[in-house]
Structure 1
């Protein structure tokens, strides 16, 4: 029975991905910082483990408890919506610690087992904003662009061991923290000179009909894991598909 470890399964993309792989007969190790945060339906093939991607001891314990893995999905992450002048650099470091170094650390922990078995798939959740810029997301975008570069370079290192890496790039998502904490993420305020600009941008976001649902991301992850010829970058949602088309036309 194939097994998959998914980080950040408390809600949204991670939760939906765990449910899809369970439905497809996989053994699912669903990890989250707070195991009791949101209950998943009980299932004999579902194992919920605590995992803080910023804590090396926590990572090592979760990977040891998980046992042999056929796939890893690095989904855990935090958002930040603010213009650069309003960003506390200490908070930006925290974001990179989770979004980038956390994914790297978990990947590093699972690679020896995959390498020994000469098989495995690592899927990293990025974002379509790495293909088309948006305001007030410069720090978050930079963290996701780093994930893109990391994933594509890592692919060249591990292909010799039968390991594949892939990227899933969702469009805008109604389930993320951006909706509820768009301006005040991590206690930061938008500087006064930018307030009107940011409010106009947020209003545009709210009016947009281009939304990526969690199930769309889960389906993209399924394709990344199960299709050996799947492309390196897989869009998820109408917004991402539009961006891919625009990018192809521009080049």
Structure 2
């Protein structure tokens, strides 16, 4: 039985992906900051573990408890809707610590066992904002674009050991990422941006894109199981359209 470790399983894409892999008969190590047993179907194949990807001790504990990992899905992330000139540097660092550095730390922790076995797949979940930029998402987009650059180089580094690296790019969907973004944003926008920011905020919070939770779960599944899967895989109808518009 194969094992997948998924970060950020408390809601949204991570939760749906964990449920999908369970339904396919995989052993699922579902991680989140505060594990909640009732979120996923009871199963002998399910392991729930607390994880903070910004904490080295937390990562080490999860890797030790998980056992051999066939697939790592780096899904944990936090959103940020903000006007750049009005965003604190500390907030920017918080976004990168989770979305980028935390992901790199997870990869660093898992690679040794995959390299030794000469087998494994690392899947990094980013966003199609790296393909179709949107306003008030500059910091978030930068954190995800950094992951994609990291992944393309990492893939070359791990290819001699038969460890694959893939990137799943969801479009816009209704997840708690938007709620998390709202918690970190200032609602008293600078006067020069007020009307513009209010319009962008309302549109973004509505989650008006065409990406469903199951689109992402199925995309991650393909990335994990299809040896011919492309390295960059858009997930969701709007994601596919954005890729086509960008000539990708």
Coarse TM-score class (shorter-chain normalised): over 0.9
Q: Deviations over 1:225-249 (max 9, x none)?
A: 101110011001111111111111x
The structural deviation recorded for 1:173 is 1.6
How far, CA to CA, are the matches of 1:37 and 1:79 in structure 2? 25
Confirm whether residue 245 of structure 1 aligns to residue 228 of structure 2.
no
SS at match of 1:43: coil
2:173/2:208 contact within 8 Å kept? no
1:2/1:70 contact within 8 Å kept? yes
Q: 1:207 to 1:44 in 2, by over 3 A?
A: closer
The structural deviation recorded for 1:189 is 4.3
* TM-score, structure 2 normalization: 0.95
Confirm whether residue 5 of structure 1 aligns to residue 5 of structure 2.
yes
2:172/2:208 contact within 8 Å kept? no
1:146-165 pair list within 5 angstroms: 146-165=146-165
Q: Deviations over 1:27-51 (max 9, x none)?
A: 0000011113863221000000111
How far, CA to CA, are the matches of 2:238 and 2:176 in structure 1? 15
SS at match of 2:246: helix
Q: Structure 2: state its 5+ residue gaps.
A: none
Partner of 1:128: 128
Partner of 1:87: 87
1:86/1:189 contact within 8 Å kept? no
1:91/1:186 contact within 8 Å kept? no
The structural deviation recorded for 1:187 is 5.7
SS at match of 1:199: helix
1:1-251 pair list within 5 angstroms: 1-36=1-36, 39-178=39-178, 180=179, 182-185=181-184, 189-205=188-204, 209-248=208-247
How far, CA to CA, are the matches of 1:102 and 1:135 in structure 2? 25
**RMSD of aligned residue pairs (Cα, Å):** 1.7
The structural deviation recorded for 1:188 is 6.7
Q: 1:162 to 1:176 in 2, by over 3 A?
A: same
Q: 1:182 to 1:104 in 2, by over 3 A?
A: closer
Q: 1:184 to 1:109 in 2, by over 3 A?
A: closer
Q: 1:188 to 1:110 in 2, by over 3 A?
A: farther
Aligned pairs, number: 248
2:78/2:181 contact within 8 Å kept? no
